[in-house]
Structure 1
Amino acid sequence: MDSLSINYLLENLKNPDAIVREQATRRIWRLWFQQKGIYGLEKIDYSQKLIDVGELATAEEVLTSLIQAQPDFAEAWNRRAFLYYSIGNYQKSLTDCQMVVQLNPVHFGALHGMGLCWAVLGKYAEAIQAFQKALVIQPYSLVNQRLILECTLKLS
């Protein structure tokens, strides 16, 4: 990925103009999905189609195969984390989210996902930390702000 482009877009996530933030968010996701070219993008798209029709085991196989072929493809890990979260396998989802963040420390989606996993596992302090890290990247994220408040209430 072009680090100048991504840095510019990351700065735009902090812009007070909501339209600028939304455009930057879409462009960042596009860059992440296209990180490994057409092959990776096609596999992710295919896995999503499988998820949409309830073929979760096959979707997991597709994503796992993609991860094995391209272990540095953060978005492949992130999509599998999403799949695991959606079927209630929070520990596996958390492990994949952590790999995403290791590969791409500014992946606000994976940080958000980590927070969701920690929260559902009852680890509210860890959830708050993950949501706060996501907020550093996307300070206007109302959902992360709300989730921090909810987790803080559960701690008290």
Structure 2
Amino acid sequence: MYTRLPTLLICVALTGGMAMAQGCPQAPDHAARMQDLVAQVRQAETETEARRITTQMWEMWTDAPDAVAQEMLDQGMERRAAYDFLGAITVLNRLVDYCPDYAEGYNQRAFVRFLRQDFPAALSDLDRAIALSPDHIAAIAGRALTLMGLRRMDEARIDMARALDLNPWLPERGLAAPGGPLAPRGQDI
């Protein structure tokens, strides 16, 4: 059983359903801090240092607009981690319905759809996440992988290059290295 469900129900009960009825508040504005983290990760000298900075980025991305949205995000991620992809999508659908301007809801739903190899639906979610958060490195890298799954390699190369420009330490960087499937043309053989 999911331990977060009672907390979500308590949040809804305590607000009398008002939070859901009033809609999602604005997501926290982490733009300035995120720009600082991007600058730091670009200058990181080791992978360990880059991972520490990336963890801080994830803390910003997964900082939901309110307690109700946070519960839905956490529960969706927990269900994904437990390979309950349909349950994860159900919860994340509710999250994006409740918070249509929260990029991470779309990014997480895209990840589940990617794992299910529903690449067209994942791409749609990633496009929305990036429209809401243009420098969302994980969404950009996810878009590159999704385009790769759709065999749209030239577009995937462009997105991976963009993601690596923002974070040269991405785990997916080997895909764009010489000999990798997303290496610049002429270096992908």
TM (norm. structure 2) is 0.74
1:61 maps onto 2:90 in alignment: yes
Q: Tell me what 2:81 maps to.
A: 52
Q: Helix, strand or coil for the counterpart of 2:43?
A: coil
Which has the larger helix fraction? 1
Moved over 6 A (4+): 153-156
Match of 1:3 in 2: 31
Once superposed, what is the RMSD of the aligned Cα atoms?
2.0
CA gap of 1:37–1:15, structure 2 versus 1, over 3 A, is: farther
Give the percent of matched residue pairs that are identical in Structure 1 and Structure 2. 21
Equivalent position of 2:182 in the other structure: 151
In 2, Cα distance between equivalents of 1:138 and 1:122: 24
Distance 1:96 1:75 in 2: 10
Q: 2:157 aligns with which of 107, 125, 128?
A: 128
Aligned to 1:138: 167
TM-fit CA distance, 1:155: 6.8
Whether the 8 Å CA contact 1:35–1:73 is kept in 2: the answer is yes
Contact 1:101 1:111 in 2 (8 A): yes
Find the structure with the greater CA-based Rg. Answer: 2
Query: In 2 relative to 1, CA 3–49 (structure 1 residues): closer, same or farther, beyond 3 Å?
Result: closer
Total equivalences in the alignment: 155
* 1:15 lines up with 2:43 in the alignment: yes
1:80 is matched by which residue type in structure 2?
R
Alpha-carbon distance between aligned partners in 2 of 1:22 and 1:65, rounded to the nearest angstrom: 31
The alpha carbon displacement at 1:140 in A equals: 3.0
Per mean C-alpha deviation after superposition, the further-off stretch among 117-126 and 34-43 is 34-43
Residue 121 of structure 1: CA displacement? 1.3
Q: What CA distance in whole angstroms lies between the structure 2 residues aligned with 1:35 and 1:112? A: 21
**Shift of the alpha carbon at 1:33?**
0.3
Report the residue type matching 1:147 in the other structure: L
Q: Structure 1 residues 36, 150: closer, same or farther in 2, change over 3 A? A: same
Partner residue of 1:88? 117
Note the residue ranges of structure 2 that are not aligned, 5 or more in a row: 1-28
Question: For 1:50 and 1:142, how far apart are their aligned partners in 2?
Answer: 23
Unmatched 5+ stretches in structure 1? none
Asked whether the equivalents of residues 12 and 20 of structure 1 are also in contact (C-alpha less than 8 Å), the reply is no
